[in-house]
Chain A
Amino acid sequence: MMPIWLALAKVLLAFVVGLGVVVLLVWFERKIVSDLQNRIGPNRAGPFGILQTVADGLKLFFKEQITPSRVERFVFELAPFLAVVPALMLFLVVPIARPIEITLDGAPYLLSFAALDINVGLLFALAMSSIAVYAIVLAGWSSGSKYPLIGGVRGSAQAISYEAAMGLSMVAVVMWVTTLPGVTDMGAMSVNEIVLRQQGTFFPDLLALSWIPQWNLIPQFPAFVIFMIAIFAETNRAPFDLVEAEQEIVAGFNTEYSGMRFAMFFLAEYLNMFTMSALAVSLFLGGWGGPFLDTIDGWAATALSFGYFLFKTGLVLFLFVWVRATLPRFRYDQLMQLGWKRLIPTALLWLILTTLVVSFREFGAPWA
């Protein structure tokens, strides 16, 4: 039983980490893209321009906020909330560091660093990313303007298409993990548990290969690829950024938004990017796991594991940025075809394959 203050402390931690990383992430993206494009990038606000995001945010505080007369007012004002809150929620289930043994009321207690360690963690994540679609649809629809409408309709169809593929790739991971030895009693749908079951190595007996970590990335590589493509589409990032394809439909669903309300969508986009990357790290890259964690203990190990988590998430985010600097944008129907004709069938096929392998491992060969 966890005291309320601890639960709230965890919530606050997740909140601060989430928002803090987003501020850095915008700068990180701009800096990386400018390096890839022979530019300097932000270099005025603070050392290496690191405060540029803060400056941009502050600027938006002072910007006039226009609500066009034709909008559906209630929905129009609700949409920014629907964008930001689910994006934050998604981060709740992600463990950001290694659990630590502490004494609580005289009894030992294993403190996990997922703000919300529930047995349906992955379903929760799936549900939250589905809610995020509402923000796009409602913002687009309520604007009462043509470009946002097209952007909203596009965005919703796109997000739901890839949501399905994402869900299926998650199932394969759960299935794979479920037969690994459990650590806590949460079951294989808890993200915390999935991370815990990825610690260690595939070859504990072979010294030469014992450096290979037991990450889902290796046995579940196709699921990883599907998941990555799906989260690119889910977060509306290049090459799937049709929702806000500037050259085609101006700013897409947030064309009519200005000032701070616009900033909310911007914040949500980067939050989504970060939380999705964090989820990818947790599902496939061993979460906070890394070398030397077993040689130290206490808070030092926790801090180191948090460092590993940030580093891995940074790598995934780098991929996001790299792809953005490299690829043009898909056309809408090509995007849909890729989703329904390639990704979902592949995900289904991979699911069946995983099922067979896992069953084989569990029940033995049917002919035996």
Chain B
Amino acid sequence: MLDAQAMAQISETSVAVELETSDMTLNIGPQHPSTHGVLRLVAKVDGEVITDVRPILGYMHRGYEKISEVRTYPQVIALINRIDWTSGYANEIPFVVAAERLMGIEVPERAQWIRLILTEMTRISAHLLFMGSFPLELGATTPLMFALRDRERVLDVLESVTGGRFHPNFNRIGGIKPAAGAGKEQKKLTQDLPAGFFTETEAAMDGVIASTDQLEKLLRKNEIFVARTKGIGVLPPEVALSYGVTGPNLRASGVPYDLRNETDYLPYDQVDFEIPVGTEGDSFDRWWVRLAEIRQSANIVKQAIQKVPSGPLQAKVPKIIKVPKGETYVRAEVPKGVMGYYLVSEGGQGPYRVKIRTASFSNLSMLPWILEGVIVPDLLAVMGSLDFVLGDVDR
């Protein structure tokens, strides 16, 4: 015999069950206009509220780690450009540095500074893409066009040095490759940068800084934009750290963690810059932190072009590169966060094993946590603000 209290409880639960609307299972992706590639989310939707979400990865798996084992070192550099296609140049750096460390090569200072300049310009171009794509997720089309216009200037400069806009494949173990189209004469003289590079870069950076002001004006005080992003998708610093979130997403949560300050893979210690951090960790902060980082990067580039010393571009390396037996791990701050290569060499012409830690993969791992309880229209305001690239997730 049940007592009255238990009866009441049972009838209450049965009522609660009856009143629930049935959940709808919604596949978002792989072919969806705004998942930046082929991410598939299986979401349980109650009305418009997401009750459960499961990301399904691997639609873009290209097996880079395995392919790297059967390629020589210069070939691998061309491959890893494509991991995160929005920041091709920055992907090269940690791998090259890892190989150089195993070989014990001292990279000439000029090459290091040029690497730094190009990395920061890649960061600017990647973040400018975000400045366009994120508002687009919220339905604002104009920032995309403005951001792409300014990104184009940066890419032009990048192209004039490396010959490539997206996939420069410009680094060599021991230094950098002589500039594209520099010609035989010029090669002899300076061996690297095309004429007028510094003035052009400086102008491009001024343009970038001006354009960040414009992008900020377009959106920062736009009431709809603020209403859509403030307090949406809040990521507390503890959660971010526990999921291994890095890069602007982590800094937006208020953790000033930036590898440019902590390791010495490039001479960042000789330039002044700030690390912008957010306060709330919401979508708005993630947007704002990236905007501020564009300005910082432009400033870094402007300082760096004053400091580029003259000298050789390449350290003395053998014609056929063989990395001595050993293993090392090098991390770098790429636009999306921390990217690292664990490189194991058995002394051959190519790596024995490469383990790639990509920023987007770790950043995406907290997706089920952050998306629970979010409503469908906010899904995009959250996902867009995380700025992941599917190639970087699946590699």
Interface of A toward B, CB cutoff 8 Å? 33, 36-39, 146, 150, 238-239, 241-242, 245-250, 324-334
Q: Are B48 and A326 in contact (CB under 8 A)?
A: no
The interface bits of chain B over 123-161 (1 if a CB of A lies within 8 angstroms of the residue's CB, else 0) are 000000000000111111110011001000000000000
Q: A328-B222, A332-B375 are in contact. Are A239 and B141 (CB under 8 A)?
A: no
Is B33 an interface position by the 8 A CB rule?
A: yes
Q: In the complex, which residues of chain B have a beta carbon less than 8 angstroms from the beta carbon of A38?
A: 145-146, 149
B131 to chain A, nearest CB (A): 13
Q: Are B33 and A332 in contact (CB under 8 A)?
A: no
Q: In the complex, which residues of chain A have a beta carbon less than 8 angstroms from the beta carbon of B189?
A: none
Q: Are B379 and A330 in contact (CB under 8 A)?
A: no
- CA–CA, A247 to B26, complex, Å? 15
Q: Contacting A248 at CB < 8 Å: which of B142, B149, B224, B380?
A: B380
CB pairs A–B below 8 angstroms (22 shown): A38-B145, A38-B146, A38-B149, A146-B26, A239-B139, A247-B34, A247-B380, A248-B376, A248-B377, A324-B141, A327-B139, A327-B224, A328-B135, A328-B140, A329-B139, A329-B228, A330-B224, A331-B227, A331-B228, A331-B377, A332-B48, A334-B224
Interface of B toward A, CB cutoff 8 Å? 24, 26, 32-34, 48, 135-142, 145-146, 149, 219, 222, 224-225, 227-228, 375-381, 384
- CA–CA, A363 to B26, complex, Å? 61
Ranked nearest first, the 6 interchain pairs of A and B with the lowest CB-CB distance are: A329-B139, A37-B145, A328-B140, A247-B34, A328-B138, A331-B377
Q: In the complex, which residues of chain A have a beta carbon less than 8 angstroms from the beta carbon of B138?
A: 247, 328-329
B274 to chain A, nearest CB (A): 28
Excluding A327-B140, A332-B48, 11 further A-B contacts by CB distance (< 8 Å) are A146-B26, A242-B377, A246-B33, A247-B380, A250-B32, A328-B225, A329-B140, A329-B224, A331-B378, A332-B375, A334-B228
Q: A146-B24, A150-B48, A247-B139 are in contact. Are A328 and B377 (CB under 8 A)?
A: no
Q: Are A250 and B33 in contact (CB under 8 A)?
A: yes
- CA–CA, A333 to B141, complex, Å? 22
Q: A146-B24, A239-B224, A327-B224 are in contact. Are A37 and B32 (CB under 8 A)?
A: no
Nearest CB in chain A to that of B24: its residue: A146
- CA–CA, A95 to B384, complex, Å? 46
Q: In the complex, which residues of chain A have a beta carbon less than 8 angstroms from the beta carbon of B137?
A: 247
Q: In the complex, which residues of chain A have a beta carbon less than 8 angstroms from the beta carbon of B48?
A: 150, 332
Q: Are B26 and A37 in contact (CB under 8 A)?
A: no
- CA–CA, A146 to B225, complex, Å? 27
Nearest CB in chain B to that of A147: its residue: B26
- CA–CA, A279 to B224, complex, Å? 27
Nearest CB in chain B to that of A37: its residue: B145
Q: A248-B379, A331-B227 are in contact. Are A36 and B33 (CB under 8 A)?
A: no
- CA–CA, A276 to B190, complex, Å? 66
Q: Contacting B34 at CB < 8 Å: which of A238, A241, A242, A246?
A: A246
B214 to chain A, nearest CB (A): 11
Q: In the complex, which residues of chain A have a beta carbon less than 8 angstroms from the beta carbon of B26?
A: 146
A322 to chain B, nearest CB (A): 10
Q: Are A36 and B142 in contact (CB under 8 A)?
A: yes
Nearest CB in chain B to that of A34: its residue: B145
Nearest CB in chain A to that of B227: its residue: A334
Nearest CB in chain B to that of A330: its residue: B224
- CA–CA, A327 to B223, complex, Å? 9
Q: In the complex, which residues of chain A have a beta carbon less than 8 angstroms from the beta carbon of B149?
A: 38
Nearest CB in chain A to that of B232: its residue: A331
Q: Are A33 and B33 in contact (CB under 8 A)?
A: no
Q: In the complex, which residues of chain B have a beta carbon less than 8 angstroms from the beta carbon of A36?
A: 142
Q: Contacting A325 at CB < 8 Å: which of B142, B376, B380?
A: B142
